Amino acid sequence: MRILLVEDERLLADTVAQGLRRAAHAVDVAYDGGAALERVGVHDYDVVVLDRDLPVVHGDEVCRAIVRHGSPVRVLMLTAAAEIDDRVTGLALGADDYLPKPFAFRELAARVAALGRRSRSAAPPVLERAGVRLDPHRREVYRDGRYVPLSRKEFAVLAELLRADGAAVSAEQLLEKAWDEHADPFTHAVRMAILKLRRKLGDPPIVLTEPGVGYRIP
């Protein structure tokens, strides 16, 4: 998934982002509400993890802006206030879920994953096609019963191809979902990931190239 983490406590933000990246997510980080609004206007996120008490632009205003935009992105709101009224207010703004601080990273990661599933069209928890079986929760991939070790980026790319259900996925779409904002769109990162993925999945090749369109698993 592509995730935007908005948190002004830099150490907390960087620690959470690192944990989410280890789970094969592409994560951008904003340390204030103004930067968050800029990124939401540019990138197609699946989930925004949004601290409520932000500098520059308050988290409430960021949430309102996301809702007004009409994007299918899901919002997980964070706050140090644990009162019920605060939670109700956050949800009334349009947030999809609410998590008080301090929180356990495992719970945050589980809530993000659940929101990510809601931001997409319904899909089975385990993705299977052309003899490939991908389990997003266990982070395991098998081809015809053989375990296939993949890097985080290779895993994310394969997941996007499987979710496309046979349709072609462009390099731009893969870059948007599997890499963060620091990725250079003019590099060959996607092509190299596809080459490595093909090699690891073995023969016969199942990741096909549609010239001028993208990649697909038929």
- pLDDT at residue number 170: 92
Q: Distance of CA 127 to CAs 44, 98, 115, 158, 206, Å?
A: 22, 28, 18, 10, 15
- pLDDT at residue number 122: 47
- pLDDT at residue number 178: 82
CA dist., res. 201 & res. 146, Å (int): 9
Per-run averaged pLDDT (10 residues), the chain, 218 residues:
94 94 90 94 90 93 88 88 68 87 93 82 73 88 93 90 92 83 70 93 93 92
C-beta separation of 64 from 37 below 8 A: no
Q: What is the 3-state secondary structure (H, E, C) of the chain?
A: CEEEEECCCHHHHHHHHHHHHHCCCEEEEECCHHHHHHHHCCCCCCEEEEECCCCCCCHHHHHHHHHHHCCCCEEEEEECCCCHHHHHHHHHCCCCEEEECCCCHHHHHHHHHHHHHHHCCCCCCCEEECCEEEECCCCEEEECCEECCCCHHHHHHHHHHHHCCCCCECHHHHHHHHCCCCCCCCCCHHHHHHHHHHHHHCCCCCCEEECCCEEECC
CB atoms within 10 A of CB 120: 12
C-beta separation of 163 from 123 below 8 A: yes
The alpha-carbon radius of gyration of the chain (Å, integer) is 18
Strand order in the sheet with 140-143: 127-129, 132-135, 140-143, 146-147
- To 10 degrees, what angle do helices 33-40 and 59-69 make? 10
CA dist., res. 93 & res. 77, Å (int): 10
